[in-house]
Amino acid sequence: MVGNSTDPGSAGETAIVTPSEAVAAPVPVPIAPPVRLSSGFGVWLRDLVISLAISAFIIIFLYQPVKVEGTSMMPSLDDQERIFVNKFVYRLEPIQRGDIVVFRYPRDPSKSFIKRVIGVEGDHIRIEDGQVFLNGNLLDEDYVPRAYEDERSYPEVVVPSNSYFVLGDHRTMSNDSRDFGPVQASFIYGKAVFGYWPMDKMGRLR
């Protein structure tokens, strides 16, 4: 690089500066923007991961989708109906009469049954010609249509400690506590709380 300067001691003298002695002027270097995925795709991927994590937590610890197989709980639950079972609720509250519960079948724990709780620990249950008596009083069962009633009888039993007497709503089609006795609490693992398919039956279960 060649440049001209005036030396105060030597007027008109030309100073020559070689390239090795030159101080290079800073050259601006363009900074490339960070490489990243499309912002829309990144947000979608993040939301997907979060949604999957939440869904896994809910299914594992709180709610489990199940399919009803059979007609023993009609008309409350139809064959092939899809419902959600709350697997956590009984850690917060006791099992109550009227609850629809899911439990391991006492005679084959690899299978699961779904029935309605009729009696809890200490209750006296007897059935006369299909009519259920709870602690001496005829039980009002508006969830059992007349067409689904039967005429079976069952001798009076006192529900044992930590056990529950369960019946299907479709009495003529149900294998329940009349056949295998009260169900121990340890076999019950959830409460049926919400139907989601078919759409016309979507809603809270009762």
Distance of alpha carbon 105 from the chain centroid: 22
Which phi and psi (to 5°) does residue 120 adopt?
-110, 180
Over residues 43-57, mean pLDDT: 77
Is 20 a residue of the active site? no
Closest CA to 177 of 168, 169, 185, 186: 168
| Confidence tier at 40 by pLDDT (50, 70, 90) | confident
pTM for this prediction: 0.73
Of the residues 72, 76, 163, 177, which is catalytic?
72
Each residue's pLDDT tens digit, 191-205: 999 999 999 999 999
Each residue's pLDDT tens digit, 132-180: 999 999 999 999 999 999 999 999 999 999 999 999 999 999 999 999 9
Is 115 a residue of the active site? yes
Q: Residue 195, class by beta-carbon neighbours within 10 Å (0-12 exposed, 13-18 middle, 19+ buried)? A: buried
Look up the CATH architecture of domain 64-204: Ribbon (2.10)
Of the residues 115, 163, 174, 177, which is catalytic?
115
Asked if residue 146 lies in contact with residue 170, where contact means CB atoms within 8 angstroms, the answer is no
The whole-angstrom separation of Cα 85 and Cα 62 is 8
Domain ranges of the chain: 64-204
Tell me the sheet residues that pair with 157. 125
